[in-house]
């Protein structure tokens, strides 16, 4: 791991303000990538040590942590150095990771209780932490949201093309146009869309869609 760059207090506060203001500058982008890289390492490290999260679940946790930072947690930081900021981010990452781990453990315990020899004996329980989660809306237009939801429900581009009666190439082109619109979004809006996609994918799986 390379040593942390030395950032003076005034420069650190300015970078935080730039990032929260969605300023598309090289400085803000590099600063976000620094924080994102740290969150990835922290969450992946916990996932490997505990063996309690799959890679997909760890990636979802990373997205949630970054969204929390951009949604307001970063604005609450009052420290004066980069190590202090990373310590602040570490607390958020650890809390989110352990919350997801506890949720998974509870879900497994519930599944063990409601299923006996392949027969469901108790009604399906709501996820224990469902009341703690927040619904995130995508910044995309309703037409794009509906298209992505239908694609997630289909489980693959090929299956979606079959259901819609169009070619797979047409589906790919439409997805590429949506991705181009996503690339034009401000940083916080892209993060919000990423979290929305993760939640939509989870809802599709819960509804019975096969993962892509």
- Report yes or no on 128 lying in a domain: no
Q: Select from 99, 114, 129 the last residue of a domain.
A: 114
Pair (14, 96) in one structural domain: yes
pLDDT band per the 50, 70, 90 thresholds, residue 208:
low
What is the Cα–Cα distance from 11 to 8, expressed in whole angstroms? 5
Instruction: Let me know whether 152 and 81 are in one domain.
Output: no
The answer to whether residue 1 sits within a structural domain is no
For residue range 19-31, list pLDDT tens digits in order: 777 656 777 788 8
Among 11-25, 86-100, 110-124, which stretch is predicted with the lowest mean pLDDT?
A: 110-124
pLDDT (0 to 100) of residue 30: 82
pLDDT at 129: 40
* pLDDT over 70, % of the chain: 77
pLDDT at 42: 92
Write the CA distances from 94 to 58, 83, 203, integer angstroms: 12, 16, 25
Task: Output 141 or 138, whichever has higher pLDDT.
Answer: 141
Domain count for the chain: 2
Residue 98 shares a structural domain with residue 194? no
Q: Calculate the alpha carbon distances from 101 to 51, 111, 130 in Å.
A: 10, 15, 14
Q: What is the mean pLDDT of residues 77-96?
A: 88
- Quote the pLDDT of residue 52: 83
Angle ∠(169,174,175) on CA atoms, nearest 5: 95
Q: Determine the average pLDDT of the residues in 2-10.
A: 59
Which has the higher per-residue pLDDT, 46 or 209? Answer: 46
pTM score over 0.75? no
Domain that holds residue 43: 9-114
Q: Is the pLDDT of residue 134 over 60?
A: no
| Residue 6: predicted pLDDT | 56
pLDDT confidence of residue 53: 85
* Confidence check: pLDDT of 125 > 60: no
Same structural domain for residues 141 and 187?
A: yes
| CB-based contacts of 106, cutoff 8 Å, min separation 6 | 128, 129
Query: Does residue 122 fall inside a structural domain?
Result: no
Tell me the CATH number at 97. 1.10.1740
The pLDDT tens digits for 172-188 are 899 899 888 888 877 66
User: Where does the pLDDT of residue 43 fall: very low under 50, low under 70, confident under 90, or very high at 90 and above?
Assistant: very high
């Amino acid at each position: 791991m390379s040593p942390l760059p030395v950032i003076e207090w005034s420069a650190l506060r300015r970078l935080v303000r730039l990032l929260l203001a969605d300023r598309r500058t090289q400085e803000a982008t590099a600063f976000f990538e620094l924080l994102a890289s740290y969150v990835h390492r922290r969450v992946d490290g916990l996932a490997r040590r505990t063996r309690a999260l799959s890679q997909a679940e760890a990636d979802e946790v990373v997205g949630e942590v970054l969204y929390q930072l951009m949604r307001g947690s970063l604005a609450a930081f009052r420290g004066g150095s980069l190590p202090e900021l990373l310590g602040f981010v570490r607390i958020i990452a650890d809390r989110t990771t352990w919350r997801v781990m506890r949720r998974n453990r509870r879900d497994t315990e519930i599944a063990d209780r409601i299923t006996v020899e392949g027969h469901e004996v108790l009604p399906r329980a709501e996820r224990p932490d469902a009341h703690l989660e927040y619904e995130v809306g995508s910044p995309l237009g309703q037409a794009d949201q509906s298209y992505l939801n239908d694609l997630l429900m289909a489980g693959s581009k090929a299956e979606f093309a079959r259901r819609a009666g169009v070619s797979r190439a047409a589906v790919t082109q439409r997805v590429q146009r949506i991705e181009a619109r996503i690339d034009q979004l401000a940083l916080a809006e892209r993060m919000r869309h990423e979290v929305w996609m993760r939640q939509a994918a989870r809802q599709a799986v819960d509804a019975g869609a096969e993962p892509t």
